[in-house]
Structure formats: C-alpha cells, structure tokens
Copies of this chain bind each other. A is one copy, B any other.
Amino acid sequence: MKNYIVHDNWKVIEEGFHPEFNLISESVFSLGNGRMGQRANFEECYSGETLQGSYIAGVYYPDKTRVGWWKNGYPEYFAKVLNAANWIGINIRINEVELDLAKASIHSFRRELDMQHGLLSRKFEAVLTNNCRVRVESERFVSMANPEAGAIRYSLTALDFGGVIDIQPYIDADVKNKDSNYDEKFWEEVTTQNHPESAFIVAETKKTAFHVCTGMKYKVFLNGKPVEVNPEFATREKYVSHTFQITVKEGDILTIEKYGVNLSSQFHSKEKILDKAFDVLETVYDQGYDALRKEHTESWLNKWEGSDILIEGDVAAQQGIRFNIFQLNQTYTGDDAHLNIGPKGFTGEKYGGSTYWDTEAYCLPFYLSTAPQNVSRNLLIYRYNQLDKAIENGEKLGFTHGAALYPMVTINGEECHNEWEITFEEIHRNGAIAFGIYNYIRYTGDADYLAPYGFEVLLGISRFWNQRITFSEERQKYVMLGVTGPNEYENNVNNNWHTNKMAVWTLKYTLEVIDFLKKNHLQSYQSVAEKRAFDEKTETVRWKDIVERMHFPYDEKRKVFLQQDGFLDKEIVPVAELNPSNLPLNQHWSWDRILRSCYIKQADVLQSLFWFEEEYDTETHQRNFDFYEPITVHESSLSPCVHSILAASLGKHDKAYELYQRSARLDLDDYNNDTEDGCHITSMAGTWMSVVYGFGGLRVLNDKLHLNPFIPKQWKSFCFSVGYRGAHLKINVSTDKIKIENHSGVSAELMIKGKALKLEAGKELEVAMI
C-alpha cells in the first residue's frame, strides 16, 4: 500500500515527484473519454521508468495464444486492445540539453488530476545539467465533448537563462504492447503527411486491418503572443516530428498548444479517414484551446450531475469514490454498442482491454443508475451483436443447435482466454449475461427490449444450459459437472451452487419471457423462433424438468447452500485463524493448496444470494453469510463489494464498511501493488455499488425504487445521484434523516425503509432515519 496521493475532495494530487511510483501515477492520472485514453505520461521526454500508453477503444489485434501445453478447444489468439500512436509527445531541448525529469533536478513538482473537470495538469521547476532553471506548467484533456480530440497547453518559463529552446512536437506510432506474446509490433504504416504546423500518420493494425489516423497541430506563443515557426520535418517509419527553435531571454514564457485527433476506421471509411482527420483537427484548432476546454469541462459537470456521490466527514472516502466514478465515466460513455469496458479501461494493457462478465455483474448497475438508459442498453446490445459468435464458440466445444456460450474474455465475440479451467468451465458468465437482461428490464421497465434483442440471447443461453446439464442416474437429479464458479480458487468442481442456480434461473426466466412475448409480441416471438429454429413445445420439456429436478448441494445440518459437491470434506478454518504471513494466499500458497483449501476468492454462493436476494428469507441470508464470509479471502478486487452489500442488508454495518474500505481506494493507494499495470476499472463499479446498494440500500423491485440506507459512523452524511425511469434523484443520507430531491420533471415510485412513497417531479421529501 502506498500513501503518496494527497487527499482532496475533487482532485488527485501528487506533491513532489515520486519517480519510484511513476508507473502507478501514470495509471492513476490517466485520462479517457470512452473512445480514446491516455496514461499520464509526460509530454516531454522521460528516460526513467514509464509505460507509454495511448489507447483507441475497439482497435484490437489478435495476438497468437501462448500456452505451456495446448488443450483442445483453446482459442488461437488473444484479442487485445492496442497501444496506439503517442500523440501527446513534445520534446524540449534547452540550450541543447534535453528536458528529461530523470536527469534534471526537480523542484516543487505537482501533478494534479482535476476530476470535476477532467483535466490533468503538472507544474514543476527543473534545473538542467547546463544549470538552466525552467518552470513548466502543462494541462491536457481528452475531450468529453468531442471524442476524437484532445489538447495540451504546455508552458516553459526561462527562470534564469536566455538562449534557444528547441521544441519538437511529434506523433509516434512505432509503439508496441508491453504484453505482446511474441514481442511483435502490431502496427504498420499506411501513410504520413506533413503540413506547416500539423502532421498525420495513418497506421494499420496487422491482421485486423483497422486504420487509425492520428493528427497533431500546434500553436506557439511567446509571452502570450503568437509566434510564427518554421519547423523542420523529420519522418521515419510510423513517426513524424516537427522541430523548431525559439530564442528566449530570462523571464520569457514560451507556450505551445498541441491539438491531437484520433480517428478510427470503425467510424470512418479508410479512404476518407485522413481527410476527415484533417477536418476534425482544423475544427478544434480553430476553436482554440479555451473553447475546446470549456465544452469539455461542461460535459464533465453534466456527468457529475447524474453520478456524483458526496461524502461529508471523510476526505479520503470522498476522493476515493469520486475517483471511481471519474474512471468509470472516462472508460465507457455508451455512445456505441460495439464498445465495452476493459478491466483496466484506458489506464493500462493488462487483460487486453477485453470484455469480461464484470460488465454485466458490476458495471451495468452503475450505468443503469447514473447514465441515460441507452448507455446500459448499448452494453446489452453488445452481447446481442455477438450472439452468433457465442453460438460458434459453443460449437467449438461440442454444443449444437444454437447453444450460445459467451466467452470469458472477448473483444469481437470470440473467446480469447486460455486456461481450461476458466475458458471452458467458468460458464456461470453465461448466466450473468442473461441476468444482465433481466436486471436492465427490472430497472428501466424497458420490456420492449426482449422482443427484438433479449429473447434471442436468452434462448441461446438456455439452450446451452440445457445441453450442458446432464442427468445423474445415481441421484435421479440433474447435475452440472466440471465447472469453475466465480470463486476461481476452485476448479473443475461438480454442481457449483451458483452456476446451477444461474442455469435454472435462466431457464425459468426464459420460459417466463416466452409467455410474455406470446401474449405481447407474438409476431416478433414467432419470427425469432423461426430464425433460431426454436421448437418451443419439444425443447422446453426438458427445461421444465431441469427446473424441477436440478441438484443443489445443501448442508442439512448448518442449513446452508454448499458451494459445490463435497465442499464439507474440506477443513473449514476461518481466515482469521490463519497466520497472516499466509496472506494473500495467491502470493504464498501453491495453486493446488489453494484449490483444496476452503478459502474463497470472491463471492460465489453469495453472488447468487445478492442477485436473487428477494427469493430467500433473512435467516437464510444470515446463515450463508456467516458461513462463507469468514472463509472468504477477497483476493479479487471484485469480491468485497458483494459481501459489503449483503452485510449492509443484514444490518452488519461495521462489516459492510470494513469490506467497502477494501476497495474504496484500491488504486489511489495501490493497495494490491499492481496499479502500475492499470487501474481496476470494473472493480470501481463494485465500490460504487457498495455505497449505493450497500449503504444506500438501493434496489429496484416490482417497479419501485427501494431505499433502505444507513450511514457509516465514520461519515457525517452522504449524498448520491441516481436516475430512475426518467426521474433524477438526489438522495441525501445523514444520521437523522434521508432527504430525497427529485431534480426532474418525472415523478418516482419509491419504497423508503419499507414504506411506499411517491415523489412528484421537482419535489423533495424527508424520512427520519430512526
């Protein structure tokens, strides 16, 4: 755990340069706008430890799979989002010495991420090896208003010298992914173009043939006045730079504004991409830095209006939760259904920027509550669009007749992952995708999603479960053998309770959906049935039998659901009784020892109890929580939130808060020593849920928004914004009361602490906390 980030309500601040944490800072201070993102690399040259990272959403490369021992069914490649052209670079030489913070002596360094406005800035003074002392102030953003553009304002003050400053803005597309499996580069140059004060590179990805056009244009000012420059162009493969000299005297302030654009062939024709980039760049250049910045910061303020959480009485918590919301909003904006949410967003390369079940399980609730409905809907359509690939994926594993198995990890719908115990066996993910449909409709009421989209996906997934489940003659029950649950500290187990639950639930829900569609959208239903050769009568017979006769491991003595067959053969010793030197287990125990232990990586049975909370009485929740929580090690960043929410609803407030804290500042404090690889974006949605679902007690049941809040004793009050079916609500929870304001023109049906209330448009109400 690190503790170098200054606590502040709205800002993330590094005071004094910490080169030893630079990789971490580069992750934490990252910028993004859903379509492109940029690690907090320095604009000027830096020869110290750095991971240069510019990423363009959706632009991926199928990197040949690397394994120790091949198993049948492994995918041939791992599609990964690519490190793309560096558009932020500006090399600076002062009287022939390179400005490089690894080689200068540095004074009063401050790096600051203004989360409210989406601005990254730096200030420092540096004394170079030639003793020139320079002050640098830089600010940059990737525009939330114009998703293809970004801008930098970079100023140098000649504090104690005069002479010549060489300035060299550049674009470098000759980059590679740190995690390249075979140390290959993934880009090839298509063309480069130079103009006075601007330049472009069009690069193409190998194999996938995406084109990305990166452009830069700059303005230079001396003491605030524009300066004409006469740059010298240099090009080499996949690289262009412009170099010019400015003569300064002591006290002069030299400023360069650099505008960058990234256009991809996902949104533009390859033939016109360069012309189009030229236009976009001209537009933002003409607009100018301040105007561009203004529309960007206004977009951010608008986002915060819908998603902010205000915490009074705990600056660290306030900074932590806003950082999470900020990153989630940077990563996915929902304007395009073929994009999704990588576990590291645009902050690093780990996990390939691919889509996991994290999207449905953790992220969807965040966007449901904080963004317009189409944002969540696009997350669902993403899976709808990949249905045929999921069916192909099922076929590769021997399934037939339209059985869809969604991949564990994907960009384009094909499976990328290659650990058999995950790839082939962690199939509960398929249920999460079905649950996402249900959850979306439950929240939004948008049942019309089913006919054109949702049902087809549910049908594919139900067909998969139907084939994957077998009948045990021995038990005279249906069973599901050889799976891995969300708790990846068990592999290849039989009858994982959660997976069995997801399967049976999906079948039941699909049967309900069929009834609903037959009543309400008969024609659409029939046309999907025809398209997918679905013979309801014959196919659903076994579905219904499975619903009736599925085996669920259960302990009669303790009256708890068992994570899997044979779970009680393990030695059950609470984590608290382990010598702490064993923790985290994944760093201290060999894999087999972890597997045969009782310890749980992340919510498994409890994941179901969270998702299907209302099906079980409080005693059942209590018993299962009390059995599983003490043996859960939470060694996934996705783990604590579910436990925290369950603890909250069981009235275990201290436990809920303790669990919330385990991920609240995960990246700001580099809790797991891995933030240098990028931030834990999808886990951030879990932390948000801990606050809103956990402390706020938010649920949507029977077309009502339920709130059942408590306030952690460490806080004075907290306030969160949620949207619900057109209403925009601010919920303020303090020790004595809950105050709810409806900032919209739509009334809302609420259930506050068990009491049904209607909150009219524009009104507010208060309920005592007791």
Residues of A whose CB lies within 8 Å of any CB of B are: 65-69, 71-73, 396-398, 418-421, 424-425, 470-475, 479, 481-482, 491-495, 565-566, 568-572, 586-596
Contact between chains at B570 and A398 (CB < 8 Å): no
**What residues of B have a CB within 8 angstroms of the CB of A71 in the complex?**
590-591
Also in contact, A589 and B398, with CB within 8 A (given A474-B568, A481-B569, A569-B494): yes
**What residues of B have a CB within 8 angstroms of the CB of A589 in the complex?**
72, 398
Residue of B nearest to A571 (CB): B470
Residue of B nearest to A595 (CB): B482
CB distance from A495 to the nearest CB of B (A): 8
**What residues of B have a CB within 8 angstroms of the CB of A592 in the complex?**
73, 397, 420, 424-425, 482
**What residues of B have a CB within 8 angstroms of the CB of A424 in the complex?**
590-592
CB distance from A431 to the nearest CB of B (A): 17
**In the assembly, how many copies of this chain are there?**
2
**What residues of B have a CB within 8 angstroms of the CB of A494 in the complex?**
566, 569
**What residues of B have a CB within 8 angstroms of the CB of A587 in the complex?**
72
Contact between chains at B568 and A565 (CB < 8 Å): no
The CB with the most chain B CB atoms within 10 A, among A474, A475, A492, is that of A492
CB distance from A567 to the nearest CB of B (A): 9
* Residue of B67, B73, B396, B572 touching A67 (CB-CB under 8 A): B67
Q: List 12 A-B contacts (CB under 8 A).
A: A65-B68, A66-B68, A67-B67, A67-B68, A68-B68, A69-B419, A72-B586, A72-B590, A398-B593, A474-B569, A481-B569, A482-B595
Also in contact, A398 and B569, with CB within 8 A (given A68-B419, A492-B492): no
Residue of B nearest to A569 (CB): B472
**What residues of B have a CB within 8 angstroms of the CB of A595 in the complex?**
482, 492
CA A596 to CA B594, docked complex, whole Å: 22
**What residues of B have a CB within 8 angstroms of the CB of A473 in the complex?**
568, 571-572
CA A589 to CA B398, docked complex, whole Å: 7
Contact between chains at B492 and A73 (CB < 8 Å): no
Contact between chains at B68 and A569 (CB < 8 Å): no
**What residues of B have a CB within 8 angstroms of the CB of A65 in the complex?**
68
Also in contact, A569 and B397, with CB within 8 A (given A424-B591, A586-B72): no
CB distance from A546 to the nearest CB of B (A): 15
CA A589 to CA B568, docked complex, whole Å: 32
CA A424 to CA B72, docked complex, whole Å: 21
Contact between chains at A73 and B590 (CB < 8 Å): yes
**What residues of B have a CB within 8 angstroms of the CB of A479 in the complex?**
569
CA A418 to CA B72, docked complex, whole Å: 17
**What residues of B have a CB within 8 angstroms of the CB of A568 in the complex?**
472-474
Contact between chains at A482 and B419 (CB < 8 Å): no
Knowing that A73-B592, A474-B569 are A-B contacts, what are 15 other residue pairs whose CB atoms are under 8 Å apart, sorted by A's residue number?
A66-B66, A66-B68, A67-B67, A69-B418, A69-B419, A71-B591, A73-B591, A421-B492, A424-B591, A472-B569, A472-B570, A473-B568, A481-B569, A482-B596, A565-B565
CA A492 to CA B565, docked complex, whole Å: 13
Contact between chains at A481 and B72 (CB < 8 Å): no
Residue of B nearest to A572 (CB): B473
Residue of B nearest to A69 (CB): B419
Contact between chains at A481 and B570 (CB < 8 Å): yes
Contact between chains at B397 and A593 (CB < 8 Å): yes
Contact between chains at B68 and A398 (CB < 8 Å): no
Contact between chains at A591 and B68 (CB < 8 Å): no
**What residues of B have a CB within 8 angstroms of the CB of A593 in the complex?**
73, 397-398
Contact between chains at A591 and B72 (CB < 8 Å): yes
CB distance from A388 to the nearest CB of B (A): 19
CB distance from A574 to the nearest CB of B (A): 14
Contact between chains at B418 and A569 (CB < 8 Å): no
CA A591 to CA B586, docked complex, whole Å: 25
CA A568 to CA B595, docked complex, whole Å: 23
CB distance from A73 to the nearest CB of B (A): 3
What 4 A-B pairs come out closest when comparing CB atoms? A73-B590, A424-B592, A482-B596, A474-B568
* Residue of B72, B472, B492, B565 touching A491 (CB-CB under 8 A): B492
CA A572 to CA B572, docked complex, whole Å: 33
**What residues of B have a CB within 8 angstroms of the CB of A571 in the complex?**
470-471, 473
Residue of B nearest to A396 (CB): B590
CA A565 to CA B572, docked complex, whole Å: 19
Residue of B nearest to A425 (CB): B592
Residue of B nearest to A427 (CB): B592
Contact between chains at B565 and A566 (CB < 8 Å): yes
CA A482 to CA B564, docked complex, whole Å: 13
CA A471 to CA B470, docked complex, whole Å: 31
**What residues of B have a CB within 8 angstroms of the CB of A397 in the complex?**
590, 592-593
CB distance from A627 to the nearest CB of B (A): 14
CA A538 to CA B547, docked complex, whole Å: 53
CB distance from A78 to the nearest CB of B (A): 9
The CB with the most chain B CB atoms within 10 A, among A472, A493, A595, is that of A595
CA A88 to CA B21, docked complex, whole Å: 58
CA A491 to CA B72, docked complex, whole Å: 15
CB distance from A405 to the nearest CB of B (A): 10
CA A424 to CA B473, docked complex, whole Å: 32
CA A319 to CA B408, docked complex, whole Å: 51
Contact between chains at A481 and B68 (CB < 8 Å): no
**What residues of B have a CB within 8 angstroms of the CB of A495 in the complex?**
569
CA A65 to CA B588, docked complex, whole Å: 20
CB distance from A497 to the nearest CB of B (A): 15
CA A593 to CA B467, docked complex, whole Å: 12
CB distance from A267 to the nearest CB of B (A): 33
CB distance from A63 to the nearest CB of B (A): 12
CA A425 to CA B475, docked complex, whole Å: 28
Residue of B nearest to A557 (CB): B474
CA A572 to CA B570, docked complex, whole Å: 28
**What residues of B have a CB within 8 angstroms of the CB of A68 in the complex?**
65-68, 418-419
CA A419 to CA B595, docked complex, whole Å: 14
**What residues of B have a CB within 8 angstroms of the CB of A586 in the complex?**
72
Residue of B nearest to A587 (CB): B72
**What residues of B have a CB within 8 angstroms of the CB of A420 in the complex?**
591-592
CB distance from A555 to the nearest CB of B (A): 8
Residue of B nearest to A73 (CB): B590
Residue of B nearest to A181 (CB): B68
* Residue of B475, B482, B491, B590 touching A398 (CB-CB under 8 A): B590
**What residues of B have a CB within 8 angstroms of the CB of A594 in the complex?**
72
Residue of B nearest to A418 (CB): B68
CA A620 to CA B586, docked complex, whole Å: 44
**What residues of B have a CB within 8 angstroms of the CB of A72 in the complex?**
586-591, 594
Contact between chains at B67 and A569 (CB < 8 Å): no
**What residues of B have a CB within 8 angstroms of the CB of A572 in the complex?**
473
Residue of B nearest to A590 (CB): B73
Residue of B nearest to A482 (CB): B596
CB distance from A329 to the nearest CB of B (A): 31
**What residues of B have a CB within 8 angstroms of the CB of A470 in the complex?**
569-571, 596
CA A479 to CA B596, docked complex, whole Å: 11
**What residues of B have a CB within 8 angstroms of the CB of A569 in the complex?**
470, 472, 474-475, 479, 481, 494-495, 565
**What residues of B have a CB within 8 angstroms of the CB of A491 in the complex?**
491-492
CB distance from A557 to the nearest CB of B (A): 9
